Structure 1
């Protein structure tokens, strides 16, 4: 059978993107069927008269689009139509492996006992509407009032009717993006962003445009330039340490970005899941521009994973829109969890868990600084992770595979990257997903992998 090859005469600048588009069309038309192994990069580069780097970037773009999967030691293979790219974290905890791949707060036995006590309280105090009603308006109004009071403590003054209660960040992000960008529209985000944003936009039929970042977050001039093209509707931001590089964007930069959004009438989706966990965090975007920010504020990352509640704050003009989008995707937040959160806010449990988390993270970051001394990594004192940059020549996917062979799982930077033009291979290392002892052991294994010779893994036979 003849293997399809791109026609070099059809390629144009930038060559890597043109090559990726050629393959994408061929895959979509069935000329390159699922399971096909793409040519080795050096061979294809020689055949087309391109550099190996250009071909490598084209393959990376195909991987980012979910059309191709790279298998360490074997090559790149075309995925079946509708196939999903693997998540950056382990789907299941593997025995004997230190799992630093999934982002979680630090937890101990105390959290389980606190949760059990809270559920006992819910069992004894659950209202009839919370247990029996299908109508959000019958169950949630008083809890929106609790949410509004809490948000006011963090500088966000909003009416209760502008708050949508959701079952965690993913539900809130989905609702916010659907509310901010119509089908076929364009959303912008930092070149390193939430790993679920890419598949979400793909499912919703949205264009997702990357924006360059510097030491202070999204570069304002880049947002202004993209907005001038006229198709941009909204920008997704994670300004307070929940982003891959754990950056906290300064107040001055936030003001600049808000001014650009106003100038071009853009909406902003603000993921602020760590919220008050971040000490002295600058004013939230929702407080700077309440007329255009959809703000996401939650508790799974600052309290404990089982407390699956997040609040989506909308501008008044979009309150009905976000409520309707949430109805068609999730209907309403789980009443028992909402009841528990409101109770914990009232009796001070939320505050106590946040203070405990800050102290626990202080110790985890101390361990990270000790074990990763001499490496280049980004972190914040209250971030749940560090972003470790790899030395030049170290491929992040191969590094992840080599680290797992040594006994530690970390997340490849590829899952968070929208833009390959300023690529710097890196891995995300979660600090709260295991015990302090296992974290230290896992970081030692990461450091050993960094010091080892970067050899490609052999295929298993």
Structure 2
């Protein structure tokens, strides 16, 4: 426990930020040293006559600045040396390791042939504007028209003038966040969300608040309460299967969240990178709140990973902001790759590959059902992954480490956690990143670990 304590007389509104500033100064002045444990949220709240939520927000702000690290079950500790977040996947595949950690579509020789053919076509058909122009408005009008056609397949009717082409979904996420949330503001998301969102929000100076979820995704009442208690600028949603738990949000829930957002006048960022791959026929959230939703979709997870192009559709109120943020962060999407995407959408190759992927995933899910037996896991017929809550007694760190020792890489569920609310240790397992034979072998190893004795597992680490 630390000997230094913040001075309640120096607290100013907003109290959480003032409290965080006191801690930051104490760390900078050496009054708190690296590794020192901070008071618990409850104890400090009682000591300063503040709410636990205020202290929690102050600690979250310190974590965002890289001054404090939080460890579930242990507490919060001063961290004077910056620590980069670890990705949930392996940086590269090593030796004979079966890598089920990185989310990829199923790919075979067909996909390589398609890309080679696309580049051959491009060599003969590349427009001069795509090779020689620096001006996005000279390059992309035709691509935006085709993008609007593809977005219609995703259930979204929008003018081409409201569409920006980006270098994939991560670029679109960055631009969308910058467009709706200035530094210091708060974004709400599901308690289990996109693994990139956590560090990205940190780098952009945005506070991330994870909200409770159920089997249908974010709970509208929880969003309404968060908006009433604090200043929420936007929500980030992944309603269609790409979320870590592979949940497909119902249309009723989408409409309810859209209504809460409209009531509190907040923006919505909808990440729908599987687009037409999910054949449920549900309207996107953007269809229920078109005036405030920034909608993201892309091709890398549903056609070929190398086709790094995404579409960011924005309502009129955000079009200028999106264009400006995209210019300063990316300037423009890579024209040559945009040419291939437009060509594939126009000649039917893109939807052909989407349909192929859907059939391939059906076979992968059949393998998973057979290999995992009676284990309780979450999936969807068009999900690229499964979410496996760990049986009682297992720890994520131990489970992932033991799987790695046995030649299988999987992603720890904590990489996707934005809140401790209702948290249960889990792992995410990719179905598309290996051959069917390797997938069957890897899932067999995971199943044997999950059904084994957790005490024996811990002793083996």
Same fold (TM > 0.5): yes
Is 1:189 aligned to residue 209 of structure 2? no
Alpha carbons of structure 1 residues 281 and 245: separation in structure 2 relative to 1, 3 Å: farther
Paired residue for 1:126? Answer: 126
Unaligned runs of 5+ in 1: 11-16, 40-56
Paired residue for 1:156? Answer: 156
Is 1:453 aligned to residue 439 of structure 2? no
Q: CA deviation at 1:81?
A: 3.0
Alpha carbons of structure 1 residues 409 and 79: separation in structure 2 relative to 1, 3 Å: farther
| Corresponding pairs, count | 428
Q: Give the whole-Å Cα distance in 1 for the aligned partners of 2:137 and 2:155.
A: 26
Q: Give the whole-Å Cα distance in 1 for the aligned partners of 2:80 and 2:402.
A: 27
Instruction: Tell me the alpha carbon deviations over residues 102-145 of structure 1, each in whole angstroms, 9 at most, x when there is no partner.
Output: 00000011111110000111111101110011110110110000
Alpha carbons of structure 1 residues 213 and 23: separation in structure 2 relative to 1, 3 Å: farther
Deviates more, 1:144-153 or 1:353-362: 144-153
Please show how residues 425-436 of structure 1 align to structure 2 within 5 Å.
425-436=425-436
Is 1:335 aligned to residue 338 of structure 2? no
Is 1:424 aligned to residue 405 of structure 2? no
Q: CA deviation at 1:389?
A: 0.2
Alpha carbons of structure 1 residues 61 and 387: separation in structure 2 relative to 1, 3 Å: farther
Q: Give the whole-Å Cα distance in 1 for the aligned partners of 2:431 and 2:371.
A: 12
Is 1:256 aligned to residue 253 of structure 2? no
Q: Is the Cα–Cα contact under 8 Å of residues 105 and 432 in structure 1 kept in the other structure? A: yes
Q: Is the Cα–Cα contact under 8 Å of residues 188 and 211 in structure 2 kept in the other structure? A: yes
Please show how residues 280-359 of structure 1 align to structure 2 within 5 Å.
280-359=280-359
Q: Give the whole-Å Cα distance in 2 for the aligned partners of 1:30 and 1:193.
A: 35
Alpha carbons of structure 1 residues 302 and 28: separation in structure 2 relative to 1, 3 Å: farther
Counterpart of 1:366 in 2: which secondary structure? helix
Q: Is the Cα–Cα contact under 8 Å of residues 69 and 79 in structure 1 kept in the other structure? A: no
Q: Give the whole-Å Cα distance in 2 for the aligned partners of 1:421 and 1:5.
A: 30
Alpha carbons of structure 1 residues 222 and 435: separation in structure 2 relative to 1, 3 Å: same
Q: Give the whole-Å Cα distance in 2 for the aligned partners of 1:432 and 1:63.
A: 38
Unaligned runs of 5+ in 2: 9-15, 39-55
Please show how residues 84-103 of structure 1 align to structure 2 within 5 Å.
84-103=84-103
Q: Give the whole-Å Cα distance in 2 for the aligned partners of 1:250 and 1:391.
A: 28
Q: Is the Cα–Cα contact under 8 Å of residues 388 and 426 in structure 2 kept in the other structure? A: yes
Runs of 4+ with deviation above 6 angstroms: 21-24, 60-64, 75-78
Q: CA deviation at 1:27?
A: 5.7
Alpha carbons of structure 1 residues 280 and 205: separation in structure 2 relative to 1, 3 Å: same
Please show how residues 351-370 of structure 1 align to structure 2 within 5 Å.
351-370=351-370
Paired residue for 1:241? Answer: 241
Let me know the Cα RMSD of the aligned residues. 3.1
Q: Is the Cα–Cα contact under 8 Å of residues 126 and 336 in structure 1 kept in the other structure? A: yes
Q: Is the Cα–Cα contact under 8 Å of residues 191 and 421 in structure 2 kept in the other structure? A: no
Q: CA deviation at 1:82?
A: 2.9
Counterpart of 1:312 in 2: which secondary structure? strand
Counterpart of 1:456 in 2: which secondary structure? helix
